[in-house]
Chain A
């Protein structure tokens, strides 16, 4: 049965439970003359919650687990002999899924025409043409084992779906009935339903933890897998990055890290002075009217999607730098370069520096400024010699946050920095970064189990650790600083 339909049934059952639960509570109270403990709605709510929520949880869990189980069962049916030379089981399995989908389409179409063809009648010989009719073109030759596997896949999925429907609805009805039977006037229905809701709220806040576990878990597992196929010391200390399709790749992270830090440093050289000056100007000099216009305009820079900056780097900044700087100076002919990506990324992170610094400068107590003015210092002297030193820890925190943003940025470097992994000092050369290589290794055509693909997870883990470290440090510094003046 369709999942949407099951959810609809659950919703109807819950609504029904609400009505009958409320009614039963009222009827029992009237009959026994005992005053209800809670408002009648809470009795209904208890029944509705017990009907819908556990069943829904079962449904979601089932939906996530079933494909994996069916897959592994069917995958066992395919003998190794069927898997083409150099191919992968996963490719055969995708054929299996396509054929299974095609079978459904054929049956659905025949059903519409009124010709009821039993599934058994679909055998290996007549199916080819029929699949082609519904738009599923089969490749060269599909071994009969694969076809049988597809049939089994379809059967398994169908039984799985049927079981899911039965189990989910059974859970809903049984728990709903139990909750309904428990209703009596003395039942503390409000307390029950409120603690139920509270545990739901707790569950929602656990999603964040689950996400982190998912991220860390998947990165670590796949990285472990990678290090079993590729030596860890080569990954961390080799200066050559040269992935090959047919194995024998050099996958050293150093050139990528160098590119990442080079681009980030250029972007910080652009963003930190500009961002700080903007923050100082806005918080110390600008009147409310200027501030009201400039601050949102600068923050718009942070709201623009990074792909827009990427296109800007690719189409405008890159060719401009190449034609006006790199070629006249004889430093390079590539329009994608470290400088291109760094400049554009610098523009992007200006607001990260300026907004946070602005807040921090504003948090410096006015008494410090007044003391400085009282000694005869000018405004700029006060800013440079009193306000900025006082705000320094917070500003360092803001810069670290911006740096972590720059290191993790993807689209600007994908479109602006190039793809060549190099250890070079020339900022007009194309270089590449960790994020670029994650994208290129995971969107390529290489087989999933190969070190060339798995290296992306090791790169991802490196990136995660670096940015996390920077963030934790930055948040620690900012928090420490806030305490100082509170």
Chain B
């Protein structure tokens, strides 16, 4: 594989100069002619067409021993579309024969081996590896290739594993992976704690990764007693190693260590002696011995690792004498932290560990009140010490969720005392104020902070004691929003503080903007239900609050000296939500999401783009769509990058990496992001072309995905601010057009694409079957079972209990309709009567009518005076819904055309009347839908283009303040009490702060969306 697939294979020497030259120059017509004549003369299969020749070889059971022939056929067959299923039969077996015939030829064996690996033919890769192992007994790499391929092949075929010897950490990791895979429950615990090899033995070998992996497994198995015992031994040894190390590097330790209590000389000598006894050494110099040095490094490293600490606390808390065990653990941590470089993270780690111990210490051993006070006190102290850390809040989230309403209120009330002193620095004040508001928002979104009540809203907020809906106290949201704006507005004037914040690398004003804006969005009614009963989550939202939130975030986005990616990502989502896709794209592009990050971050922007922004697909012929780079990425990753990495892993003996590469390949081939990119890519193309030229289903990236196959959603929501208390309702859920990627949605979308490809397929123009009726019969024999199969799979998915949580309403309608269309095709082509099919046709018609109705109904419900404002917002936020309607029409029209082709022009068996009637009904429904879509597109173009939009949006956001009917107050008269949110925000981001720029960009983006839609081709 070092040269495998990278170049054309080298031709055999006896090919002659002319053929060699033509081969080098890629003159395929010449090559074919010359090969033909040589085949005729020599009868040598080498010169025959590859597929034909290999078929002959298989039929005649000929054993190919010539490596050049194998190389050539491999190259030719893989290049002409041989699937991975065919490889073992056609090439894999041939590769084994070549290696067996040339057992001492290393390069031939290597090429053959990597060819099998690249094509996932583990059966023959293992056979070749076994031959190599036997032929070159002195070569460890061949030995381990045999081991790994045996393991991989055995893993796939569930056969027992052979025992093998192990030396390096990577070999050990491979062994450990096998053991973990093959052994379960108590047997695995026994294995991991075996006196002959356990985590302590791994450390003796200096294998920190092995030790860590074994400890992780013990944790996973819940073997807490074993974990505690081994961990204690590791920490005892760790302290001993550190003591000896400290002695050896006394001067360095003094320089690095924080000032601490000096111990007497005698005490230190005694400690050192005890440490040496623990390590079975007689002098510190013995640590220089390689093996002991490796153990020392590995042990000293692992006892400083946070994961080990966290699990050690957990194990101690599960001991019978938990309080005593936890105290012991804390002593270890305090001791360990004194050694080595004093990085800030270790101080944070120690404080965090102490806090966990406070929360984990069993309450029955203490006075309840004392425990509660200790918890709040511990949190307050931690915040006091670590408020500068950007991760301070995230570190403490786990504890906030454990507080009762009283404790939460206690903390909220007491926190301002940390910064209320007038002596406090401005920096400390703003950091703690921001923390306080974030904390209050967190509790507002936490169900723990509400107590049930008999009021109309059903609960009482534990913080402000108002009536509230659980996880949503409007009083708190309003107060938090106002306070955020107040502090943010004041901060704009303090240039010295802004400079200091920049120097410290923190941006509390961005946090204030995010918290305040999210409060406004929640007050606007965005609640994470994705417009389950409408076109968009914005359908019934208070647009004033939505626009205020967007304009505020935009103002901070442009003013911030430290670029915060969480704010950028929020803005991208919001701009997509209001239909300003091109503006969202410009912000998204500035984040430079590309290459490997497409798989995990791409969906944050590109999901559903193909339905809502046809303008971005205008240049699809030049491979310049938002999804082109995804497809390029996946093709390279699957066909080139991962096979290359597999080869490198084998070459370098990185056995654990081989397994990692295989997992990576599977996750790429079965990625939900890949499906999203494929489907949106072809949907976008269809929106501008109208016709189905080449569909998702013809793409090699989709062909291997079968219904029911496991698909992987690897979307990374890490870039979003983590401010919500309820992990099941994160912030991105209520700022998106619809739910994120899921296996079910991916399968539904692929099945729909498959249906479309099937019914829209047209034979090439030069295809003239001798017997047209027979050809049609054959076609029907393929289409009918395929449609029935698809309909069945789609029905299963659509009947899933939580399917409505995974789709937008327009998607539910579209997939339901496609399922009905597939059923109809499957049934109608084999039916003699149409009686049972009327219901299906009616359901398809209803789905179309429902979509069309929602497209227009809002115009009827809005008051006359408000109609323009409501309509435009309604129209731009419903782009996705209209995109799905366009797809619904398109697939229905293609089905009608297919029925026409399949049953239309048959003199012997003309289309039955009932089918003609069904087609008439559906045709009328699609034409009505197209008319409405055309009206929608025209309305979009005429309403978003006229001048004066900037004023209108300003008025949406700030009402009478923007149109001048309410006077803007003077700053000098302003107090927190006498001001309101609208006034504060208008003065902070209003015309004087140039918010018209943001508004202009929104209007420009809407105009672009309208232009894109005006080029959409609707087919009848």
Chains A and B belong together in one complex: no
